Structure 1
Amino acid sequence: MDDQLWALCFLDEGVALSLISRKETRCQWLGGEEQAYHYLLHDYLQHLAELGELDEEQTLAARARFELLAEQYPDPETLVEYLNDLTAGLTRIVWFGPLRALAEDYGDFPLALRAHYWDDYGEGDEDPATPVPEADWPWLVESLDEFLLGGDY
């Protein structure tokens, strides 16, 4: 599996959630950091504009704000905190970052995902914080889909 992959996973919190009474999480896999930031600043922002019923001027202002935040806070985790503050009530990003970080980092989301992964794919004696070997990343990605559907985040 490509070690350059990044993902943007987000939860729609707005009207759709209240109508269907369940979480709707989307996860977009992207070919690297540059593509991930482009997706965040264009496609994800367009999704937000539609959810928030923003006009063209408001969308351009939101894009400028997103771009400024991305420049000021290059760390994905910090950037996500600020973006989630801006998009409260519409969407919430639950993960933005590289696949490698999901497999190895010790943040709340990667740890919770790995605990789920080892529960499903492990032999029962693994520490839930144990990094997932690169050869097993395809199963980690599969586990992510199940994890998001289960709403364990």
Structure 2
Amino acid sequence: MDNQAWALCFLDEGVAMSVISRKETRCQWLEDEEHAFEHLLNDYLNYVAELGELEPEQVLVAKERFELLIEQYPEPEVLTEYLNDLTVGLTRLLWFGPLSALAEDYGDFPLALRAFYWQEYGEGDEDPVEPVVEDDWIYLVECMDDFLLEDDY
């Protein structure tokens, strides 16, 4: 897995929770930081707009708001909090950031993912907070779907 990769993972809080009564999660792996922010401003925003049944004018206003937040809060963790405030009841970002941070950082989501990873791929003696070495990031990516389906984050 490329060490420049980013991920945008989110939980659908709207339609999926009311219609099928289960978690509907999605994780999009992106080439690098630039593509991640492009995806956030286009694909993710359009998805949220569709869920919220926004009119075209409202989508433009939402995009301006997303752009302003990205400019004001370029740190992914802080940006995620503000974007979640805007999309409450529709979606909730679980993770927006680099793969390297998932493999090494000590935030709640990376720690939970790594604990799941070590349970699935470890030999039983690993510390669940232990970072994942870059050569094994592909396995961390592979376990993400199962983690999102099975774990409570």
In structure 1, C-alpha distance between the alignment counterparts of 2:104 and 2:143, rounded to whole Å? 15
- What amino acid sits opposite 2:93 in the alignment? I
Runs of 4+ in structure 1 off by over 2 angstroms are none
- What amino acid sits opposite 1:71 in the alignment? E
Residue 85 (structure 1) shift: 0.5
In structure 1, C-alpha distance between the alignment counterparts of 2:54 and 2:94, rounded to whole Å? 23
Partner of 1:51: 51
- Secondary structure at 1:115's aligned position in 2? helix
In structure 2, C-alpha distance between the alignment counterparts of 1:16 and 1:91, rounded to whole Å? 10
For the aligned residue pairs, the C-alpha RMSD in angstroms reads 0.7
Partner of 1:33: 33
In structure 2, C-alpha distance between the alignment counterparts of 1:132 and 1:56, rounded to whole Å? 43
Residue 16 (structure 1) shift: 2.5
Aligned length in residues: 153
Q: Kindly, what percent of the aligned residue pairs are identical?
A: 73
- What amino acid sits opposite 2:84 in the alignment? N
Q: Deviations over 1:9-60 (max 9, x none)?
A: 0111012211100010011010000000000011100001100000000000
Q: Deviations over 1:58-115 (max 9, x none)?
A: 0000000000000000100000000001100000000000100000000000000000
In structure 2, C-alpha distance between the alignment counterparts of 1:68 and 1:145, rounded to whole Å? 31
TM-score, normalized by length of structure 2? 0.98
Partner of 2:62: 62
TM-score, normalized by length of structure 1? 0.98
In structure 2, C-alpha distance between the alignment counterparts of 1:34 and 1:17, rounded to whole Å? 31
Gaps of at least 5 residues in structure 1 are none
